Structure 1
């Protein structure tokens, strides 16, 4: 039995569908019972559990042999670092005394130690904590999600502008969540556990200018890039409804991304879904290609 935390998110939902299509036994976990119903109809066991409920989560984990761990994101209206650390702490506590065959955990490129670095700091702490577990752990570090551009795609369609916090020509690794799900599914189902770090990105690296070009091709009209100056990052996040603490964290996370370094492309796994395919899919609903498996 596979237990999927974060089953109703971008990666977890794709992963659950992949495993169910292969005939695997799956328990999907989410605090939203309504969101679990499509998975129940597809043949999954469902567990409407909040990961902060340690006792209830531990009971679900004990029913499984293999776990996909995704620490749920906190709403940006909250202190996201504090809330995500609290969720992570509850999950780690729930794992105590649970005998699993393996864990596959979702992390991110650039995970690093530090306060108020958003996911970069929280997921680094998760990686370090899981490394102390006796069970074999595979860490899937995903590049910048294509889905992070969804609001920009909407503004491109409505206003002809891709809005971004990155410089227009800044090239960074990006990936489709479904490609991360394919890698996670492979790591969960291979005969022998494959502990270690698996860094996954798309076929090539892209810039905001590439996003605008893809939008223009999909929409059939010009699309430009509007880049928010660094001095206005916090102000802009606040204008989007972020709490003061979340705005500071997201600004610091953005700076760490812009100022940091990425792994060499030859050291990463590459999914097949191209940015152009994802943008076209969002505009037309046509499915994009699946990813390579590890």
Structure 2
């Protein structure tokens, strides 16, 4: 049994679909049954669990030999950072009790950095806690998801300006389509468990893009001229707090500060491997524009 925590998200669903195509049994672990139908349609067993309740998670993970862990940020939470930390604690407690042979955790580029750089540092904590568990641990460190630009697309189409936290605008950064990450995770899960060890995999798309490249792709898809503009640093936190708790907004602001420093939020040199998705930026953004 392969258990997928967060199976209804873009990454989790892509992993579940790829594993079902390989004809292996999947238990999709969801926070609610609202999105169960699409997973049941592809042959998944569905379990509903409270990610803030270790006992609930323990029941959902029972008898699973392999588990994929995704720690979802909650925009609705009053303290988004603390909720993510609480979810990490409860997931680890449940895994300690259920003892799967293989654990794949979706982590973040930059999680190897020792200093506090926001979201990657939170995932560094996840890696450290899981490292103490027995079995085969895979840390799938992901580049920024191409689909994250979706929030910026409507105002860019309306105004002709793509507001970006990437600065300089002409520096390429690693990014990946979320479904590609899910497919890479499935490939890793299908490999035989390798005993008590840690395997680090960095996942990014077929090429790196600049913020100017993103604006050019939107121009091509929309048929109108769109240019990128760097948002002043003083406006980052207020912008993030329009839809997120202050603590979650701070995690993202710190991460973007680090991302704008060359080589920080990147592949850890000399560690693990890099796997590449196949989806180009234009294909990932096409459905978001249309």
Q: Match of 1:234?
A: 237
Q: Match of 1:74?
A: 74
1:245, distance to aligned residue in structure 2 (A): 2.6
1:244, distance to aligned residue in structure 2 (A): 2.7
1:153, distance to aligned residue in structure 2 (A): 2.1
1:19, distance to aligned residue in structure 2 (A): 1.3
Name the SS for the 1:154 alignment partner.
Answer: helix
1:76, distance to aligned residue in structure 2 (A): 6.1
**Distance across 1 between alignment mates of 2:186 and 2:125:** 24
CA RMSD of aligned residues (A): 2.1
Asked whether the equivalents of residues 77 and 246 of structure 1 are also in contact (C-alpha less than 8 Å), the reply is no
1:281, distance to aligned residue in structure 2 (A): 4.0
**Distance across 1 between alignment mates of 2:186 and 2:141:** 14
1:222–1:165 Cα change, 3 Å: same
5+ unaligned residues in a row in structure 2: which ranges? none
1:45–1:264 Cα change, 3 Å: closer
**Scaled by the length of structure 1, what TM-score is found?**
0.89
Q: Match of 1:280?
A: 286
Could you list the per-position Cα deviations for residues 206-226 of structure 1 after superposition, in whole angstroms to 9, with x for gaps in the alignment? Answer: 111100000111111211112
5+ unaligned residues in a row in structure 1: which ranges? 285-294
1:35, distance to aligned residue in structure 2 (A): 1.0
**Distance across 1 between alignment mates of 2:174 and 2:267:** 9
Asked whether the equivalents of residues 166 and 211 of structure 2 are also in contact (C-alpha less than 8 Å), the reply is yes
Could you list the per-position Cα deviations for residues 169-221 of structure 1 after superposition, in whole angstroms to 9, with x for gaps in the alignment? Answer: 23210001111111110111123438410001111111111000001111112
**Distance across 2 between alignment mates of 1:76 and 1:268:** 33
Q: Match of 1:288?
A: none
Asked whether the equivalents of residues 71 and 87 of structure 1 are also in contact (C-alpha less than 8 Å), the reply is yes
Could you list the per-position Cα deviations for residues 111-146 of structure 1 after superposition, in whole angstroms to 9, with x for gaps in the alignment? Answer: 14455x442121100111111111110110010100
Q: Does 1:254 align with 2:256?
A: yes
Q: Match of 1:177?
A: 178
1:93–1:271 Cα change, 3 Å: same
1:76–1:173 Cα change, 3 Å: farther
Shifted more, 76-85 versus 39-48: the winner is 76-85
Shifted more, 48-57 versus 258-267: the winner is 258-267
Which aligned segments of 4 or more residues in structure 1 are displaced greater than 6 angstroms?
none
Name the SS for the 1:259 alignment partner.
Answer: coil
Matches within 5 A, 1:108-147: 108-111=108-111, 112-113=113-114, 117-147=117-147
**Distance across 2 between alignment mates of 1:32 and 1:123:** 24
1:50, distance to aligned residue in structure 2 (A): 1.1
Asked whether the equivalents of residues 63 and 98 of structure 2 are also in contact (C-alpha less than 8 Å), the reply is no
Q: Match of 2:223?
A: 220
Asked whether the equivalents of residues 26 and 45 of structure 2 are also in contact (C-alpha less than 8 Å), the reply is yes
Q: Match of 2:210?
A: 207
Q: Match of 1:13?
A: 13
**Distance across 1 between alignment mates of 2:188 and 2:98:** 20
1:36, distance to aligned residue in structure 2 (A): 1.5
1:251, distance to aligned residue in structure 2 (A): 1.6
1:91, distance to aligned residue in structure 2 (A): 0.5
Asked whether the equivalents of residues 79 and 245 of structure 1 are also in contact (C-alpha less than 8 Å), the reply is yes
Q: Does 1:187 align with 2:196?
A: no
